[in-house]
Structures are given as structure tokens and as C-alpha cells.
């Protein structure tokens, strides 16, 4: 099957936008009338539902942030009563208080439909065996994929996480054709399989990976596809949106966000204004059809770009590119947004330096000063200062091209930079503002 709901997925763009406008309009009326939270927010912003006269008027509406959800713990901004809810999911709360998401039956149906469309778009359906190796429970990944996979008529193998050897045996014995898990878990499975004397490429029927819930790169995609003999697809979602919702199609060029469910904007996190088409900015989503926890202009905090052209697969819904970083990691250097991930990406293309780096931001007079410290590779060391200066200048040039802002580069001794897991700790901001 090519499309789960071709009438919607391939709807001409103008009609799709008209549909979004109608959904937005009724959402705003509903929330203004029935949600004290949104009513107050709209009053504060001095905007009334009658002010929404076209789709772009969404920009008149107030933003909503993660902290709004935390502050309303557990269910203060739900727009459905507990009797109307059929399920709760709770996010882990690693960066603060947990957040609770409630679902009505219609909310679950919408979520499941979203995944049914997504799984169909990567070529899965009846006859496939989909191994769900996301956690089942309060986390949305396991149950979300489970219902989506059942809806398209595939056979679900609900292995959840852990017990990797048993997972690989079952993958082989029951002929899993697709697996949904984190990219790092799939890499781990590949290694465990080899220790067991098995090759996922040769000894299993696996053909697709539905990978998400953590950041990954094109380089990892290439590696997994070659090594494991699969196609690797990015899946995106957050518990606030319901859970995992959107995947790439077979074009593997950004995930389709279903326009009848979500209105996507990419905004400048600093000004709140829309960025130019194709530019990076903060993903902001208005959830159009949910009953229990709809959201207006929810700022997820993920940085990415969006392509609104019709996809070669025929779907008219916009594609959002792989997540580039988090707003929390963003630095503003002389008024320009800089993400550590951009620095990392630029350095990856320079063979003379290792992958470890540190960004030091300081203020010289009135100007921000950015220094990137990189470790010189053993092979690239030269006894001639001129050779080393050429390397340094080449890195500075590449960084300037990638970041649109000048950065000084300091070559440091191998192994001298601190090793951290998270990106944000790679930044030392010495500016006292």
C-alpha cells in the first residue's frame, strides 16, 4: 500500500491549508471558551478568536512552553475530565518535574492514525513483523508504535527493551522485518548479534529500522544501513505531541508532519518571528485535533528546518529535517545564533583535528569573542609553525562559513580537553551579562 489515507496525505496544498485554517479557528474558539489557561493567555496577548481570519494569523497567538506544562502538573490544563480519559503517559522528568499527558479515545485514535500513515509511508503493512523494542509503560514509545503497527495489519512482536540476546533469537525465529528502537540500541543489537555468531544482515529478515527518541546523524544512518542491511528511518515525536508521531517516508529526507493534526512553524527562538523558508529555527507546533491536551504554538525546544514543497513520494504535508540541536544549547554570538552541533558538524569535515572540542565565549570590550579549542591529530602534527598556522586558519575559515560568525581556533594537545557526554557542557560561557 502506498498511502494509508491518500485523500488526506496527497491533498493539494491549498485545500490542506484551508483545512488547517478551519481546524485552527475552531480550536481557538474552543480553547478561548472552555480553557481558563488559554483564555487568560489570549487576553494577555490581546487576541480574540475573531482575530484569526487566515492561517498565518496563528502568529498572533501566544506561545506555550514546557514550563507551562510543568507548572500545571499534573492535569490543570487538560481540557477533558478524568472520566473522558482512557490513558495517561508520564514523561521521565530528567530536566525538571515530570509532565503528564492524558488521552481521550479520540486522541489515541489520532495518534494511532498518525503512525499508521507513517509506517505505511516507509513501506510496511500486512505481512510485516514489527519488533517494538521501545520501552512499554509510562514512556510513549512502546505503546504508541504497538498500536500503530497493529492498525496497519502488521504482526507486532512486543519485546520492549532489554534481554538483547533473546530479542535477537526472536528476531530470527519469528522473522522480524522491521524494528522500532533507539539508534544506539540497534547498534548494540548488531554488536551482540556478532558476538552470538550471527549477522543481522545475513541471518535475519530485518529490512527497516524505525529509529528515534535520541539524536542521531547521517553518518550513523549510513553505517547502520551498510552493516545491518536495512533502511534506517528517523521517527519523531514527544510525549506532549502524544508520543512518536511522524517518520520519514521512503525518500528519507525529513519526516512528514501531518498537517491535519499539527500546524508547524519554524521560529527564531530569540525573537519569536518566523525564519526564512529552509532556515534553521525552533520547531513550534499547534496540535489541532486533540481533545484532552491540545496545544497552541508549543515550543518544543528542538532546532531544525522545514521544507514545504511537495515530496517526491507524492505527499503534500511538510517535511521537517532531522533535529539539529536543542534551543537550550544555543549560543548567541554577536547577535547570531550558534549551536554546538554546527561546530561539531564543521569539525567532522576537517581530518587534522579530532572530534573533541570546547567552545569558550568571552566578551572583549563590547564584543562577544568566540574561541573554539580543538585537539590536533597525531598524524597532522608538523614541526613547522607555518604548517600548523595553515591548519588553524583552515579550521577558522570552515567555522566562519558554517556559523556566519568569526571564531578563533586554538590548537591544543591531544587528550587535553575534558570528555563529556552532553553537548551543552562543551561550552564555557564566561560572559557576565
Partner 1 sequence: MDVKKYVIKQISIFSENRPGRLAAIAHALGEENVNILAFSIAEANGFGVVRALVDQPEKAYKKLSSIGFNVAFTDVIAVHMQDRPGGLYEIAKMLGDANINIEYSYAYSGKEGAVLILRVDQVVDAIEKISKSGATLIESSVFH
In contact, 184 and 191? CB cutoff 8 Å: no
Which residue, 88 or 381, has its beta carbon nearer to partner 1?
381
CA dihedral of 344, 346, 351, 354, whole degrees rounded to 10:
-20
CB of 426 to partner 1, least distance (A): 18
CB of 430 to partner 1, least distance (A): 16
Which residue, 267 or 376, has its beta carbon nearer to partner 1?
376
CB of 330 to partner 1, least distance (A): 26
Which residue, 328 or 410, has its beta carbon nearer to partner 1?
410
Phi/psi region, residue 136 (left: phi>0; alpha: psi -120 to 50; beta: rest), is beta
Query: How many other C-beta atoms can be found within 10 angstroms of the C-beta atom of residue 116?
Result: 22
CB of 338 to partner 1, least distance (A): 21
Question: How many whole angstroms separate alpha carbon 240 and alpha carbon 295?
Answer: 9
In contact, 373 and 412? CB cutoff 8 Å: yes
Cis? peptide before 305, omega within 30° of 0: no
Which residue, 191 or 410, has its beta carbon nearer to partner 1?
410
Helices marked H in 277-384: 340-348
Which residue, 3 or 388, has its beta carbon nearer to partner 1?
388
CB of 400 to partner 1, least distance (A): 17
List Cα–Cα distances, 402 to 55, 320, 398, 429, in angstroms: 33, 20, 6, 20
In contact, 21 and 54? CB cutoff 8 Å: yes
Which residue, 20 or 358, has its beta carbon nearer to partner 1?
358
Closest CA to 109 of 150, 138, 159: 150
Question: How many whole angstroms separate alpha carbon 300 and alpha carbon 158?
Answer: 29
Q: Where are the beta strands (DSSP E) in 272-322?
A: 281-287, 295-304, 306-307, 319-320
Question: How many whole angstroms separate alpha carbon 416 and alpha carbon 420?
Answer: 12
Which residue, 219 or 378, has its beta carbon nearer to partner 1?
378
CB of 366 to partner 1, least distance (A): 23
CB of 99 to partner 1, least distance (A): 45
Residues that bind partner 1 (CB under 8 A): 376, 378, 381-385, 388-389, 392, 410-416
- Residues 50-68: b if buried by 16+ CB within 10 A, e if exposed: eebeebeebebbbbbebeb
CB of 263 to partner 1, least distance (A): 49
CA angle 75, 255, 212 (to 5 degrees): 65
Which residue, 81 or 382, has its beta carbon nearer to partner 1?
382
Which residue, 337 or 358, has its beta carbon nearer to partner 1?
358
Q: With both helix axes pointing from N to C terminus, report the angle between 13-34 and 36-44 in degrees, rounded to the nearest 10.
A: 100
Phi/psi region, residue 260 (left: phi>0; alpha: psi -120 to 50; beta: rest), is alpha
Which residue, 71 or 410, has its beta carbon nearer to partner 1?
410
CB of 176 to partner 1, least distance (A): 45
CB of 423 to partner 1, least distance (A): 24
Amino acid at each position: 500500500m502506498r498511502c494509508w489515507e491518500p485523500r488526506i496525505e496527497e491533498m493539494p496544498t491549498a485545500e490542506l491549508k484551508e483545512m488547517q485554517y478551519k481546524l485552527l479557528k475552531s480550536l481557538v474558539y474552543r480553547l478561548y471558551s472552555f480553557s481558563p489557561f488559554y483564555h487568560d493567555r489570549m487576553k494577555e496577548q490581546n487576541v480574540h478568536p475573531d482575530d484569526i481570519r487566515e492561517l498565518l494569523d496563528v502568529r498572533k497567538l501566544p506561545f506555550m512552553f514546557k514550563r507551562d506544562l510543568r507548572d500545571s502538573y499534573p492535569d490543570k490544563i487538560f481540557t477533558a475530565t478524568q472520566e473522558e480519559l482512557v490513558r495517561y503517559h508520564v514523561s521521565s522528568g530528567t530536566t525538571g518535574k515530570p509532565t503528564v499527558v492524558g488521552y481521550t479515545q479520540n486522541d489515541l485514535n489520532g495518534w494511532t492514525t498518525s503512525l499508521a500513515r507513517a509506517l505505511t509511508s516507509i513501506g510496511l503493512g500486512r505481512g510485516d513483523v514489527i519488533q517494538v523494542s521501545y520501552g512499554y509503560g509510562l514512556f510513549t514509545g512502546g505503546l504508541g508504535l504497538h498500536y500503530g503497527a497493529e492498525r496497519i495489519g502488521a504482526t507486532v512482536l512486543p519485546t520492549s527493551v532489554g534481554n538483547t540476546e533473546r530479542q535477537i533469537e526472536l528476531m530470527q525465529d519469528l522473522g522480524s522485518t522491521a524494528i522500532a528502537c533507539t539508534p544506539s540500541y540497534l547498534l548494540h543489537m548488531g554488536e551482540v548479534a556478532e558476538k552470538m555468531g550471527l549477522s543481522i544482515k545475513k541471518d535475519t529478515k530485518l529490512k527497516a529500522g524505525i529509529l528515534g527518541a535520541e539524536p542521531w546523524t547521517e553518518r550513523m544512518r549510513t553505517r547502520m544501513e551498510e552493516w545491518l542491511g536495512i533502511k534506517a528511518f528517523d521517527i519523531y515525536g514527544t510525549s506532549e505531541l502524544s508520543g512518536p508521531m511522524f517518520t520519514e517516508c521512503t525518500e528519507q529526507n525529513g519526516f512528514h508532519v501531518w498537517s491535519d493534526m499539527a500546524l508547524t512553524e519554524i521560529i527564531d527562538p530569540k525573537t519569536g518571528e518566523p525564519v526564512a523558508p529552509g532556515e534553521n529555527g525552533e520547531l513550534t507546533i499547534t496540535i489541532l485535533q486533540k481533545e484532552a491536551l491540545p496545544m497552541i504554538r508549543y515550543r518544543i525546544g528542538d532546532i531544525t528546518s522545514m521544507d514545504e514543497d511537495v515530496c517526491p513520494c507524492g505527499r503534500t504535508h511538510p517535511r521537517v529535517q532531522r533535529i539539529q540541536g536543542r534551543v537550550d544549547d544555543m549560543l548567541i554570538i554577536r547577535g547570531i545564533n550558534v549551536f554546538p552541533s554546527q561546530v561539531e558538524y564543521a569539525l567532522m569535515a576537517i581530518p587534522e583535528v579530532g572530534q573533541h572540542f570546547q567552545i569558550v565565549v568571552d566578551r572583549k570590550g563590547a564584543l562577544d569573542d568566540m574561541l573554539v579549542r580543538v585537539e590536533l591529530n597525531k598524524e597532522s602534527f608538523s614541526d613547522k609553525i607555518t604548517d600548523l598556522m595553515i591548519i588553524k586558519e583552515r579550521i577558522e575559515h570552515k567555522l566562519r562559513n558554517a556559523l556566519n560568525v568569526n571564531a578563533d581556533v586554538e590548537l591544543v594537545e591531544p587528550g587535553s580537553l575534558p570528555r563529556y557526554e552532553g553537548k551543552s557542557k562543551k561550552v564555557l560561557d564566561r560572559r557576565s551579562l
